[in-house]
Amino acid sequence: MAVTKGNKKPHVLAVPFPAQGHVKPLMKLARQIAKHGIKVTFVNIECVHRQILSSSRAEAEAEDEDMQNLVMTSVSDGRGPGEEHDVFKLLDTLRNSMPRSLTELIETINASTPDERITCVIADITMAYLSRTAESMGAEFVVFSPPSAAAVGILGLIPKLLEEGSMDQDGSVTNGVITSLSKDIPEWKKDEYSWSFAIDLKTQKIFFECSRRIVREVSEARLLISNTCYELETAACDLTPNLLPVGPLTLVNPDGPKPGPKSCSFHPQDLSCLTWLDGKADGSVIYVSFGSLAVFSQQQLDELAFGLEMSGRAFLWVVRADLANGSRAVLPDGLAGENGKIVEWAPQEEVLSHRSVGCFLSHCGWNSTLEGLSRGVPFLCWPYFSDQFHNQKYICDKWEIGLRIDHDENGIRSRHEIREKIDLVFCDDRFRKNASRLKEVTRESVGEGGSSYKNLKKFIDHLRKIC
Ligand code: UDP
């Protein structure tokens, strides 16, 4: 039971940025806080709230019953009709709408349950501007950071890069500029920064402006809860003094076999792939998934389909309905035969835990990176944007748990390159050995007495004290 002080119980308001890779890890943190007897109200924007409810299975809701302390609610996001799917536009619209929407929500909660007033607001790193809202409502403010500690560290270098003239106002550096935070952290080169989006400079500019604002806002934050673990990113964690690593949250709170709404899946999971995996040999299957946002040309998807087929190995491929630049991909006839299984959305954590998965062909989103490595799965890297290029460097150069799939001079990853790298990653036992070691490292960190375990406990104890 929660400790009460002055007739008040702790009550956390958790506010994620409305993208799959941000909502899911914050929900895992929220579940952990709720498990310790602290009430949490988890606020999504309306369209995301509806999407999560419609994607979860009715029979799975029972699984969430032990989560009475965790309430899901929603607020308007301030966007007009037709803008619902533009995740980038949200960066701006939320900045205008969220302070007012959340103030109204907190006022309603505080008035209706005076014993359970909101005592702490935990908001996504892209929404650190909510610190003023929290403070004006008498609540403590904490930032939640879904990406790596290195991705946070590099943001801090923006002012210096601008000042010395090695970066322009759009966030691009000239060829040859190399940015380093420490000898223990892989360096960044042109187009590898979290805000880089070389294929669309207009979007890059939005990311860069957002990153510059985050730098200012986060520097004022008392505490940054990070989905990483100290042993994985020691040098990067040491760079940000107010950073508290509590991850990998995928291990702290793994999805069960039939996740309910409180797992926050944006799409219905196709569980048939788990039965399909049951029929395959140990370590034999390539799991292919590019997360929730990456898109590709039909030509590139053809190369991938033929590369997988030519490898002669079994593969499970997540082909989202919008994977072909927003449209349904056309796949070669007979691709999903004996050896291939295609799903629109997988229970990814369950898949990566399955004994038959031998390799993860991934876009290297930070959640996917942590989900794979904490289960000891080697990687084939195919980054799309943002921090994924730097995560690839961690995977291939620092941790040595995978290989890059390189593109040619036209920006295409050919079927031959794909087939060759698949062969290499399966044939070299080094990757699996290194991945198994990291699996142990991360498990120890979240296990009783480990660094992430202790940090999370420290934070939860703190939440109890501030009411
Ligand atoms: N995911 C999933 N099923 C899929 C594909 C992805 O559940 O078929 C989840 C995955 O487990 C991860 C998240 O979606 O937690 C994607 O986050 P990530 O940071 O890897 O990439 P992003 O979507 O942000 O690019």
Q: Domain spans of the chain?
A: 11-253+444-465, 269-441
pLDDT number for residue 82? 65
- How many Å apart are CA 316 and CA 344, to the nearest integer? 11
Is 269-441 the same fold as 11-253+444-465? yes
- How many Å apart are CA 299 and CA 61, to the nearest integer? 41
pLDDT number for residue 40? 97
- How many Å apart are CA 430 and CA 434, to the nearest integer? 6
Question: Which atom of ligand 1 is closest in space to residue 292's alpha carbon?
Answer: 23
| Mutation choice for ligand 1 from 29, 368, 392, 395, CB with most ligand atoms inside 8 A | 368
Ranges of H-type helices in 245-393 = 249-252, 272-278, 298-311, 348-353, 366-373, 388-393
Question: Which atom of ligand 1 is closest in space to residue 343's alpha carbon?
Answer: 8
For the segment(s) 11-253+444-465, the CATH number from 3.40.50.2000, 3.40.50.1820, 3.60.20.10, 3.90.380.10 is 3.40.50.2000
pLDDT tens digit string along 282-316? 999 999 999 999 999 999 999 999 999 999 999 99
Q: CA distances (Å), 441 to each of 103, 213, 367, in order? A: 41, 34, 17
pLDDT number for residue 290? 98
pLDDT number for residue 78? 73
pLDDT number for residue 65? 63
Contact 232, 327 (CB under 8 A): no
pLDDT number for residue 467? 75
pLDDT number for residue 62? 62
- How many Å apart are CA 227 and CA 208, to the nearest integer? 22
Q: Whose C-alpha lies nearest to ligand 1, atom 5?
A: 291
Ligand 1 pocket at CB < 6 A: 19-21, 24, 265, 289, 291-293, 318, 345-346, 348-349, 365-368, 371
Q: How far is the CA of 363 from the centre of ligand 1 (A)?
A: 10
Low-confidence ranges of the chain (pLDDT < 50): 1-5, 7
Evaluate whether the domain defined by 269-441 bears CATH number 3.40.50.2000. Answer: yes
Q: How far is the CA of 115 from the centre of ligand 1 (A)?
A: 37
